[in-house]
A and B are shown apart, each in its own frame.
Chain A
Amino acid sequence: MGWNGSCVHTGKKIRFCLKTEKGLWVMKHIAIGILGAATLGFMGSAASATTLDTVKAKGFIQCGVSTGLAGFSAPDDKGDWQGIDADFCRAVAAAVFGDGTKVKFTPLSAKERFTALQSGEVDILSRNTTWTINRDTALGLNFIGTTYYDGQGFMINAKKLPGVNSALQLSGAAVCVQSGTTTELNLADYFKANKMEYNPVVFEKLEEVNAAYDAGRCDVYTTDQSGLYGIRLTLGSPADHVVLPEIISKEPLGPAVRQGDDQWYHIVKWTYFALLDAEELGITKANVDEMKNSASPEIKRVLGQEADTKIGTDLGVSNDWVVNIVKAVGNYGEMFDRNVGSGSPLKIARGINALWTKGGLQYAPPIR
């Protein structure tokens, strides 16, 4: 790929050295679009190394996250990134390096995210991003699965707007929304389908939308429902705001990688499946070491304790990769509870995000 400050071989022995990483970091905040265009222009044309090799060589995974969405990816008071999306990157780092801390986070706005992944600035995009066909095809991405099943909703200030208890009463309202999202498109579709008028107030960054809504620039805030619960906590007086019952879209949120590198795609995808399988088999952060000696052949196989196992090495990681993942972040259920569920301020119920064995949609193929 010729990336990360390495030198690029281009055909006839021309060595083109770019100090890309630092230069790009500065540029990104000016215009990621120009960056992407320039990057595509200067990138070597011959793919030289796989993502796994590049990641191993630099010693960490560069993970694209949001600029701050509670429960998914937001820095805590110590500056460490917390949330499901951040933890997912830690899980991949644990699978690759055996150490969940070998991750560096890049906060990206909705508008910057795809260019950052396409151009190679990040190795994984784990940023509450909706899986759509357009993104899987025209944008050259590969979504690995749905780490959180979500749907778009509306939030209003019930104190200022008493009597509004349905999204169908919102005709004529000013609606705050983040640009460059599926949310923006669903919003237009929903109001059009219901023959209602609205006044879009569009910002590029989540913080700008939050500030505008809090200041009363708009009547309604729309984004994924999980996001609304997270954002409500950051507002001046959270108790005044209510999330309306309507869910107007399917928003399967999941991590994505670049196309063209099946090995990396499989590592990220099976990290997600391993988190689910661990929960299904009852392997937790606390009992993972005991579980290694379990009598169940399935648990032993998943944890890489089978004699002469090649499951991990075939994937391109070590055989105790699942042990490392669970030690780093726990299983999927633990990750959910800690970040958005009962153990978090958001208190979101598992709902459709429960395992298939408990009536939810989370289902993983077997590790064998």
Chain B
Amino acid sequence: MASQEVLREESSRASFINDPKIRSLFFQTLVVIVLFGSVWWIVQNVIDNLQRLHIASGFGFLRGRAGFDISDTPIAYTSDSTYGRAIVVGLINTIIVAVAGIITATIIGFVIGIGRLSQNWLIQKICTVYVEIFRNIPPLLVIFFWYSGVLAVLPAPRDSYHLPFGSFLNQRGFYFPRAVWGEGSWLIFVALLVGIAMAWFVARTARQRQMATGQQFPVFWTSVALIVGLPVLAYVLSGFPLSFDLPKQSTFNLTGGFQVKPEFLSLYLALSCYTAAFIAEIVRAGIRGVSKGQTEAAAALGLRSGSILRLVVVPQAMRIVIPPLTSQYLNLTKNSSLAIAIGYPDLTATAGTVLNQTGQAVEGVLIMMIAYLILSLVTSAVMNVVNARMALVER
């Protein structure tokens, strides 16, 4: 009797230890405690060490006067601005080069990716060579290639290449006329907005009519006429308010006009070319992923090859393409921090300078990490929305 009771007690205790629910709960709690303990230990150590080494800490430095100048300032910034603003200038520069790079890389990537599937032997080989070259070179070398190999060997400002429309190209960058909007030019922008809205409305109506009656409407040319024609009309009506500020030769550089600096150009071109190689492979995989039967069925319906690609293949390929595309966009954004090697004032460069002038390394690095994290999360969020919309097409 007694022995049986002991046995039961033991078995119930054994089952308590072996209960997978309780076990997993126990280990999860343990992991959380260890994780938070380590983080707390590191934070405490940072605080202790900073105090012991008499190093200033806290984020108050962000309100201090920066005292240094930045070469590319998309928002108003002088050496009298604050450290905080200097970091924001860097962040905006990062966003500019990332967005421009993403757009260009996507366009090049799609062209090359589709080109690799071309029936034309020459086009196919050229695209393959492009992918193999850029995919196998580290991005930093591609940046140096553009900066030192292409842009630095251009002539000095005095011997600039004269390009059409009053543009110049020299080793200090690419200069083109800057539009100066005169009185009444708001009408042009309004006309442009109206044109875009009307084009969208026409496209929608035309689609509905085609669905209902099967009749087609020349949507493309109507849209072009609306988007280009209306602003031109407004330009004439408001009395030609647009003039141009042309770049001119001065003692040292060209002045006036709009200057795109070689640091931006080389970073932008390098990131676009490099990431495009990966995007091309993703696009190729996506198109290959669409069953051949789809193409054949579309051809049997009498669609031309261009329409097959546009209406049947690409929409299905996009579902495969978008998730890995998001990773490439994130890579491009993060690779933009290589700008520091050629002196483009991106987030890493300006925050690094602030870090160095104030000596507050911990705060500086924290700000950089959080900024890149937010940029990446926003990119992912946008791409997830796009992905969700694409996925809805699926039955």
Say yes or no for A363: interface residue by CB 8 A criterion: no
Question: Is B50 a contact partner of A216 (Cβ separation < 8 A)?
Answer: no
Say yes or no for B361: interface residue by CB 8 A criterion: yes
Taking a contact as CB atoms closer than 8 A, the residue among A33, A172, A192, A258 that contacts B251 in the complex is A172
Question: Is B356 a contact partner of A179 (Cβ separation < 8 A)?
Answer: yes
| 0/1 string, B10-23, CB within 8 A of A gives 1 | 00000000000000
Taking a contact as CB atoms closer than 8 A, the residue among B41, B349, B365, B366 that contacts A204 in the complex is B349
Question: Is B53 a contact partner of A118 (Cβ separation < 8 A)?
Answer: yes
Question: Is A135 a contact partner of B42 (Cβ separation < 8 A)?
Answer: no
Q: Closest approach, in angstroms, between the C-beta of B113 and any C-beta of chain A? A: 32
Question: Is B45 a contact partner of A111 (Cβ separation < 8 A)?
Answer: no
Question: Is B364 a contact partner of A33 (Cβ separation < 8 A)?
Answer: yes
Closest chain A residue to B351, Cβ basis = A33
**Contact stretch, chosen from A36-44, A61-69, A93-101, A299-307:** A36-44
Question: Is B53 a contact partner of A140 (Cβ separation < 8 A)?
Answer: yes
Chain B residues near A187: list those with CB within 8 A.
69
Say yes or no for B99: interface residue by CB 8 A criterion: no
What does DSSP make chain A's interface, helix, strand, loop or mixed?
Answer: mixed
| 0/1 string, B83-127, CB within 8 A of A gives 1 | 000000000000000000000000000000000000000000000
Cα distance, A31 to B365, chains bound together (Å)? 9
The size class of the interface chain B forms with chain A is 35 or more
> With contacts A138-B359, A172-B253 known, is A40 near B352, CB below 8 A?
no
Taking a contact as CB atoms closer than 8 A, the residue among A33, A40, A174, A184 that contacts B172 in the complex is A174
Question: Is A208 a contact partner of B171 (Cβ separation < 8 A)?
Answer: no
Question: Is A138 a contact partner of B356 (Cβ separation < 8 A)?
Answer: no
| 0/1 string, B219-243, CB within 8 A of A gives 1 | 0000000000000000000000000
Q: Closest approach, in angstroms, between the C-beta of A185 and any C-beta of chain B? A: 5
Say yes or no for B183: interface residue by CB 8 A criterion: no
Q: Which of B345-378 contact A (CB under 8 A)?
A: 345, 349, 352-353, 355-359, 361-362, 364-366, 368
Question: Is B54 a contact partner of A180 (Cβ separation < 8 A)?
Answer: no
Question: Is A216 a contact partner of B156 (Cβ separation < 8 A)?
Answer: yes
Taking a contact as CB atoms closer than 8 A, the residue among B43, B79, B362 that contacts A189 in the complex is B79
A34, A161, A260 — most chain B CB neighbours (10 Å): A34
Question: Is B67 a contact partner of A37 (Cβ separation < 8 A)?
Answer: no
> With contacts A33-B361, A215-B171 known, is A110 near B356, CB below 8 A?
yes
Q: Closest approach, in angstroms, between the C-beta of A191 and any C-beta of chain B? A: 8
Question: Is B252 a contact partner of A203 (Cβ separation < 8 A)?
Answer: no
Say yes or no for A212: interface residue by CB 8 A criterion: yes
> With contacts A37-B362, A199-B71 known, is A111 near B356, CB below 8 A?
yes
Chain B residues near A110: list those with CB within 8 A.
356
Cα distance, A189 to B67, chains bound together (Å)? 7
Chain B residues near A34: list those with CB within 8 A.
365
> With contacts A36-B361, A199-B71, A260-B52 known, is A174 near B343, CB below 8 A?
no
Q: Closest approach, in angstroms, between the C-beta of A96 and any C-beta of chain B? A: 22
Chain B residues near A161: list those with CB within 8 A.
251-252
Question: Is A179 a contact partner of B349 (Cβ separation < 8 A)?
Answer: yes
Question: Is B357 a contact partner of A180 (Cβ separation < 8 A)?
Answer: yes
Question: Is B49 a contact partner of A45 (Cβ separation < 8 A)?
Answer: yes
Say yes or no for A225: interface residue by CB 8 A criterion: no
Q: Closest approach, in angstroms, between the C-beta of A167 and any C-beta of chain B? A: 13
Say yes or no for B341: interface residue by CB 8 A criterion: yes
| 0/1 string, B61-86, CB within 8 A of A gives 1 | 00000011111000000110000000
Question: Is B53 a contact partner of A208 (Cβ separation < 8 A)?
Answer: no
Closest chain B residue to A180, Cβ basis = B356
Question: Is A179 a contact partner of B352 (Cβ separation < 8 A)?
Answer: yes
Say yes or no for A248: interface residue by CB 8 A criterion: no
Q: Closest approach, in angstroms, between the C-beta of B42 and any C-beta of chain A? A: 4
Chain A residues near B341: list those with CB within 8 A.
204, 208
Say yes or no for B247: interface residue by CB 8 A criterion: no
Say yes or no for B384: interface residue by CB 8 A criterion: no
Say yes or no for A312: interface residue by CB 8 A criterion: no
Cα distance, A26 to B106, chains bound together (Å)? 35
Question: Is B68 a contact partner of A43 (Cβ separation < 8 A)?
Answer: no
Cα distance, A320 to B280, chains bound together (Å)? 71
Cα distance, A216 to B148, chains bound together (Å)? 12
Taking a contact as CB atoms closer than 8 A, the residue among A31, A111, A139, A212 that contacts B343 in the complex is A212
Say yes or no for A188: interface residue by CB 8 A criterion: yes
Question: Is B71 a contact partner of A202 (Cβ separation < 8 A)?
Answer: yes
Chain B residues near A188: list those with CB within 8 A.
67-69, 79
Say yes or no for B262: interface residue by CB 8 A criterion: yes
Q: Closest approach, in angstroms, between the C-beta of B101 and any C-beta of chain A? A: 21
Say yes or no for B152: interface residue by CB 8 A criterion: yes
Q: Which of A310-351 contact B (CB under 8 A)?
A: none
Cα distance, A192 to B65, chains bound together (Å)? 14
| 0/1 string, B246-289, CB within 8 A of A gives 1 | 00001111010000001100000000000000000000000000
Question: Is A139 a contact partner of B252 (Cβ separation < 8 A)?
Answer: no
Taking a contact as CB atoms closer than 8 A, the residue among A31, A185, A260 that contacts B67 in the complex is A185
Chain A residues near B364: list those with CB within 8 A.
33
Taking a contact as CB atoms closer than 8 A, the residue among B55, B171, B352 that contacts A33 in the complex is B352
| 0/1 string, B320-354, CB within 8 A of A gives 1 | 00000000000000000000111101000100110
Chain A residues near B34: list those with CB within 8 A.
none
Say yes or no for B46: interface residue by CB 8 A criterion: yes
Closest chain B residue to A109, Cβ basis = B356
B44, B68, B345 — most chain A CB neighbours (10 Å): B68
Q: List 28 A-B contacts (CB under 8 A).
A: A31-B365, A33-B368, A40-B49, A41-B49, A45-B48, A45-B52, A47-B52, A114-B361, A135-B359, A137-B54, A138-B358, A139-B359, A140-B54, A161-B251, A172-B255, A179-B349, A180-B352, A184-B69, A184-B353, A185-B67, A192-B78, A201-B71, A202-B349, A204-B340, A204-B341, A216-B171, A219-B253, A258-B53
For the complex of A and B, list the 9 residue pairs with the smallest distance between their C-beta atoms, beginning with the closest: A180-B356, A139-B359, A188-B79, A140-B55, A138-B56, A36-B361, A41-B42, A45-B48, A140-B54
Known A188-B69, A217-B152, A217-B172; 19 more pairs at CB < 8 Å: A33-B352, A37-B362, A41-B43, A45-B44, A45-B49, A45-B52, A110-B356, A111-B353, A111-B356, A114-B356, A114-B361, A118-B361, A140-B56, A188-B68, A200-B68, A211-B148, A215-B152, A216-B156, A259-B53
Q: Which residues of A contact B (CB under 8 A)?
A: 10, 31, 33-34, 36-37, 40-45, 47, 110-111, 114-115, 118, 134-135, 137-140, 160-161, 169-170, 172-174, 179-180, 184-185, 187-189, 192, 198-204, 208, 211-212, 215-217, 219, 258-260
